[in-house]
Structure 1
């Protein structure tokens, strides 16, 4: 018998049912149908409904309890799992939650998380399908100011793929004691002029806040600034996690633990707290000298958010555009036409010169 201590399970689901990515009618590959709550066969059109039972829920977990667990894992040390393709039977070792077989393109979805991995509690399903995403992408490309003329030809022929990006959400109650100053403006006559001055008074007090579902990306797979620009996300539409939602798409595992994410969530909270403290101080100006914040009832969960990623080639470089698969919001990078920018600058200077000339002649 081994003396190795087996750590207790971390927050997550028990063993999930095995997901079939093959159509029960014709055997072709299935994929989640955006907005349909069903897996759809790309060959015969058959649909397999995704059902939830009374045990399915989007649960939250105690952050302090997780933090105190001596057996919690460092995400950097967690290994992958072996997934077997239903199409060709090939085995793939991966840290991703879902993807496609490199040999036949069949679906790969992890039904069971490796020991130590926190399983997703919720998933925001795809609402925007690939055709709509292509349309949004094409409109975005063709509406860019100062874009090279050839860029307008980029469109439906470019590659696009769907993925789920993990995010942590945090809830918390905070109580903040502050010390600062309240500034009140007054005017003082100096010669023939009135000068505004500020009289400062000491201020101290307590501010309470309640935070709900603060989002923090759990993976650095995609550029952070672009991911932030894709929001806001309507988390009221999040469904209890089932692996069927991942079929036909990719999904990466988190690479930032809850403790690192919570530090970022605290920064989000502090911005709100500082604003509320300034309101509580009142007056015309405020100075904050000290904040002491206590956190209570901190809860967290892992949710998967849907993104379409479109890529296109231009001038020998690959460019990436992302589409929020829930709202259709588009963000991304694109090239600029130097001649167009120069021409616009020259035109602006000409207009300015003409305006000055007309003004000078009329005065």
Structure 2
């Protein structure tokens, strides 16, 4: 009998699950010790995503704060050792050893399905298996990739996220009437989005002018004038956990609008929190993230300088800021992403899975806008007529 030939997978394409053979070892039982012979670092994380009672896929439950089996209801707590902590790292020390670092040049990592064992190489951190729907979990971490220090777990579950989504959609002004029916059957998925956080102590020297308003009479009128005087000095600022999105997967302005985040609830990173959700790898290098952080710091520093100058108006002619004790870390923040189709176009809405805040796109009804403008003109005309009638 001739052997069948299976062509090798294309580079980066997922490998299908392995075919069973007579020599395959029996599946591990729930009582097996993950540290016992036969379990290595590659297979241990894969086993963690399955229910030890019925074998179904587990998923992190926002309401339970634990891994939950959707089939039999089994619950598995996520335990942390007393010594675990969310650590921050010196940016200057990291930069000294990583000159020329670019995450775009680093290859993908291998994700393995905890159900059928299929493997794929990707730059995502977690996801769903295309063969069986099981959890894809990382079994390798490429050299040079910075590992997350913390994760903010989901506290808003999918049902609450759908409720927030529907409320948001149906409360939009000038939305098409048909949009009110959207929400019950639209797709929604949970994902973790990477963010950099930066701490820094800053010392800023400034020079500028203070403008004080006064009035003087010119004939029958009073005219406002501004008296300018020179000011200089310095301000100190302390920044803690300044957030900068570390992924360009979603629009930065919308991701920023989802805040603020309850960063006090960040947990030391464990892959268990990702089970049942997707997670993307960061594509914004720390250097680029730090440059963005400095721009955000500069906006606050300028506000403080203007307050220090005082007066009714301020002009800043010189700013010089020194940065010290710069620390950074990578954290994963939870987002529900809902999509719906309207008028042949796909629209996207994001829900903060920590606070329930909703941000997104929506269509507008041109007839409703035109009707509102016409009504406004009619009302303005009536008011003008009543005010000016003889």
TM over 0.5: yes
List gaps (5 residues or longer) in structure 2: 1-40
Instruction: Mark the CA change 1:182 to 1:93 in structure 2 (over 3 Å): closer, same or farther.
Output: same
**How far 1:71 moved relative to its partner?**
6.5
Mark the CA change 1:346 to 1:193 in structure 2 (over 3 Å): closer, same or farther: closer
Structure 1 position 81, deviation (Å): 1.3
Partner of 1:346: 374
Q: Do 2:110 and 2:140's aligned partners in 1 also have CA atoms closer than 8 Å?
A: no
Size of the aligned set, in residue pairs, is: 348
Which runs of structure 2 are paired with 1:93-242 in the superposition (5 Å)? Answer: 93-110=121-138, 112-242=140-270
Deviations 1:276-322 (A, max 9, x none): 11122223322111111000000001111100001111111111111
Shift of 1:51: 0.4
Q: How has the CA–CA distance of structure 1 residues 195 and 347 changed in structure 2, closer, same or farther, with 3 Å as cutoff?
A: closer
Q: CA deviation at 1:359?
A: 2.1
Secondary structure in structure 2 of the residue aligned to 1:18: helix
Displacement after TM superposition at 1:72 (Å)? 6.6
Query: Structure 1 residue 255: deviation in Å?
Result: 0.2
For the structure 1 residues 193 and 145, does the alpha-carbon distance in structure 2 shift closer, same or farther, using more than 3 Å as the test?
Answer: closer
Instruction: Extract unaligned runs of 5+ from structure 1.
Output: 1-14
Please give the alpha-carbon distance, in whole angstroms, between the structure 1 residues aligned to 2:213 and 2:351.
48
User: Matched residues in 2 for 1:300 and 1:89: separation?
Assistant: 35
Shift of 1:133: 0.7
- 2:360 maps to 332
The answer as to whether partners of 2:67 and 2:76 remain within 8 angstroms in 1 is yes
Structure 1 segment 1-363 matched on structure 2, within 5 A = 18=45, 20-70=48-98, 73-110=101-138, 112-361=140-389, 363=390
Residues 71 and 280 of structure 1: CA distance in aligned 2, closer, same or farther (over 3 Å): closer
The TM-score, its normalising length taken from structure 1, stands at 0.92
Mapped partners of 2:201, 2:127: distance in 1: 38
What is the RMSD computed on CA atoms of the aligned residues?
Answer: 1.7
Question: Is the 1:163–1:306 Cα contact (8 Å) retained in structure 2?
Answer: yes
d(CA) in 1 for partners of 2:106 and 2:146?
A: 11
Cα distance in 2 between the residues matched to 1:198 and 1:144: 44
